[in-house]
Structure 1
Amino acid sequence: MNLTRRDLLAGAAALATTTSLVPWVPAHAAEMIKLGSILDTSGIFDAYGKPMQKATELAVAEINAAGGLNGEKIELVSYDTQSDMALYTQYGQQLARQDKVDVVHGGILSASREAIRPTLRKSKTLYFYNVQYEGGVCDRNIFITGVTPAQQAAVLIPNVVKDWGKKVYILAADYNYGQITAKWVTKYAQEAGGEVVSTDFFPLDVADFGSTIAKIQSAAPDLIVSALVGGAHLSFYRQWAAAGLNKKIPMASTTIGVGNEHKVLTPEEGNGIRVAYNYSHELASPTNQAFLKKWAEKFGNTDDIHELAVSTYQGVWLWAEAVKKAGTQDRMPVIEALEADLSIEGPGGKVTIDPKTHHATLDVHLMEFQDQKMKVLEDFSQRPPLDTQAVCDLQANPDDNQQYEIKI
């Protein structure tokens, strides 16, 4: 597919359309399997989106090099939304209605997921959202491979309350993820015998935390829990360290490190922050070591691999295994294959789809930043998405289609 045709497919007004090609020429393009990718590979969220796109390209290249799926190669059709929600809507419709892809992997913020999920459901285009989020989405057309609060915060918060103290101060991004995660942090802190002394929310463009730092000092908590998101919020960690408070009040986070933020901070700024995720470069498993080698061979180094990139890679492979198991890329047989206890062994460990919720059951690793690395402190095997299981049962209600606000 040449550049002129790409431009025509995206429309004359398309702002940023790219089609990633594998090195082969299809004999019958109409018979090819099409995988759509829609991500922020430029704009303010590109630190998340660029490695996710690379992960998609790596998985597709591996699958095609092994002969494709059921004898067919995969064509990857990719769009860059430039971190613009309006372009998510535009390109979601493009992938479903004009490109007619068999599956879409994409979205970063919950807002971007909800911008395209209704279109993909209506067009009966299978959708994978490969990002950690607040939980509660219940829709048979979507599969979610990132960690949810019951998999992550349930591990992290009791640990830090036990180790650091009972008085917790929460900082969170002021949108769905931050607001709901703050409730989960409060729940798990209280269950561990702690209390939340204050919760502050911040718009994504806030970068000056001077008054907040003064407020925290007055509250004198035993620890901070951060659910801040994005480049502007990274300023908090720098300002916190510059005030010398990182040596006085310890910090845990449900977000930092997801986009390799710990590599942007200096060791002095990041050391000691505790997190819990599905993935770390430091995992010694043969699967992860093989993944790191393949990534380095394709892209030159492994410095940009992060949690969301690995979730994306695992999501593409889950879909591929389901296509092979179903014997077709058609939507309903693939959905049924994914619901039939399908699992893969990924860089972050075993990944299994929970048929009730279409969320992943995952290994979670409790970790601490040390010299810009994530040192694994403890492993928690096969954590189910208990939060979403409390509100979603697609086996009993396959036509359900909403994001529930989970009662906390």
Structure 2
Amino acid sequence: MNRASQWFAICCAAISFQIQAAEKEPIVVGSVLDETGALNVYGKAMADATKLAIKSINDAGGVLGRPLKLVTYDAQSDNAKYTSYSNQLALRDRAAVIMGGITSASREAIRPVADRNKTLYFYNEQYEGGVCDKNVFLTGVVPSQQIPPLVDWAIKSGKKKFYVLAADYNYGHISTDWVKQYVTKAGGTVVGAEFIPLDVSEFGSVISKLQEAKPDVVFSLLVGGNHIAFYRQFASAGLSSRMQIASATFGLGNEQVVLGPKEANGIVVAFPYVQEDPSDANKKFREEWSKTYGSNYPYITDSAATVWNGWHLWALGVEKAGSTDRDKVIKALESGISFEGPGGKVSIDPTTHHVVQNVHIARADDKHGFAIISEEKSVAPSFERSVCDLVAKPNTAKQFTPSAKAN
């Protein structure tokens, strides 16, 4: 058989496989995200990543030879809708898995519903860490993976005096406790902390406090569209040349795209994924993204990559389990399923249900993107490992905080 005939046979076989998968009963899967409302600055890219992941999986033949049927709900930045839609996905739509939630509050609206209805749940967003729940898998970066590399970078750069600005809800409060612990451990000091409600967009008093405190580093845990105003007011006050902003959240809402280059330039972040990653997996991911959403898409966020990873990890777990049965899929995922994501290899950590992943330190540039400074490979969720062992204690369903000790 010549090469042309071989390619023809391969193409026909692939098309036949896809047709056979499409003819089989679909597997219903569900997503709940904030596509509108104040948090859509995060939800839009995550929703786009969800649709692209489902398309990618279906184009490859589906899962267990069956196509995925995606049912989506827009929670409209309303946590009550997360509870309602999660119930609908579990009870009415009979989804094999629910993926969704952006804020920690939205996660905690979904989690008890999924637990109660025995519906597997994936939370694909960075958060404050510590969730330990047999029914939940968490693919976002946690403080024990993200904050130490960022703090260490600042300390090694000679910056030891920190001031924390955080969103005024559980993510901001708990993550601030982590910053304090890691800064102290690294030999620095935290001289102040402010908690900013999500609806605040005026930062005059905060700017005054920073001018008085004179920190080396402003550590930002700000969240949402209103908080973007801080970076603009910070630059306008002339503080960019006097203080370094380091952030665990800047860029998740495309702040570097919305702001002018002079307002964003120089801010340092730590994420598993930045669009500029030069890997072959990212090149393929970006090509697929551009083909679907256009080459002028503002920026592919870490949150979008985390969602992409979550869907593919689940699909690999189902394939290994040979079933969509929740308990069988959990067991398969706990075997240490790995996936080559756009930011590098991600692996399910069996005892914690979090992921081991790479972390990039990157600096916002003058082109509405980031320049990679360094990359730390295979960073484990160390705190979660110290308090959570879902293999030994499968009935655990709680969230541990920085003061927690292993039982």
User: Considering the TM-score relative to the shorter chain, is it more than 0.5?
Assistant: yes
Select the residue among 70, 73, 96 that pairs with 1:76: 70
Tell me the CA shift for residue 322 of structure 1.
0.8
The answer to whether the Cα contact below 8 Å between 2:166 and 2:172 also exists between their aligned partners in 1 is yes
Residue 353 (structure 1) aligned with residue 382 (structure 2): no
Matches for 1:126-141 after TM superposition, within 5 Å: 126-141=120-135
Work out which of the residue numbers 193, 201, 222 in structure 2 matches 1:228.
222
One-letter amino acid of the counterpart of residue 402, structure 1: K
Amino acid of the residue matched to residue 385 of structure 1? P
Q: Does the alignment pair 1:399 with 2:399? A: no
Aligned counterpart, 1:380: 376
Stretch moving more, 214-223 or 353-362: 214-223
- Residue in 2 that maps onto 1:14: none
Size of the aligned set, in residue pairs, is 385
- C-alpha separation between the residues in 2 aligned to 1:25 and 1:65? 10
Work out the CA distance in 2 between the residues paired with 1:306 and 1:403: 26
What does 1:4-403 correspond to in 2, within 5 Å? 27=23, 31-301=25-295, 302-371=297-366, 372-403=368-399
TM-score by length of 2: 0.92
Percent same amino acid among aligned pairs?
A: 49
Deviation at 1:162, TM superposition (A): 2.3
Q: How many angstroms apart in 1 are the aligned matches of 2:64 and 2:21?
A: 18
What is the root-mean-square deviation in Å for CA atoms of aligned residues?
1.6
Partners of 2:33 and 2:73 within 8 A in 1: yes
* TM-score between the two structures when normalised by the length of structure 1: 0.92
SS of residue matched to 1:133: coil
Which residue identity lines up with residue 244 of structure 2 in the other structure? P
What letter is aligned with 1:252?
A
Partners of 1:84 and 1:384 in 2: CA distance: 32
Q: CA separation in 2, counterparts of 1:360 and 1:252? A: 23
Amino acid of the residue matched to residue 233 of structure 2? Answer: Q
CA distance in 2 between counterparts of 1:212 and 1:303 reads: 29
Matched residues in 2 for 1:91 and 1:222: separation? Answer: 45
Deviations 1:119-151 (A, max 9, x none): 111111111000000111010101000000010
One-letter code of the match for 2:225?
Answer: G
Which whole-Å deviations, capped at 9, do the CAs of 1:168-223 have from their partners, x for residues lacking one?
11111111111111111111111121111111111111111101111111111112
Stretches (4+) displaced over 6 A = 22-25
Whichever residue aligns with residue 354 of structure 1, its letter is D
Shift of 1:25: 11
Q: 5+ residue gaps in structure 1?
A: 1-21
Tell me the distance in 2 between the aligned counterparts of 1:164 and 1:206: 32
- Looking at structure 1, the residues matched to 248 and 303 of structure 2 have their Cα atoms a distance apart, in angstroms, of 13
Q: Structure 2 stretches of 5 or more lacking a match? A: 1-17
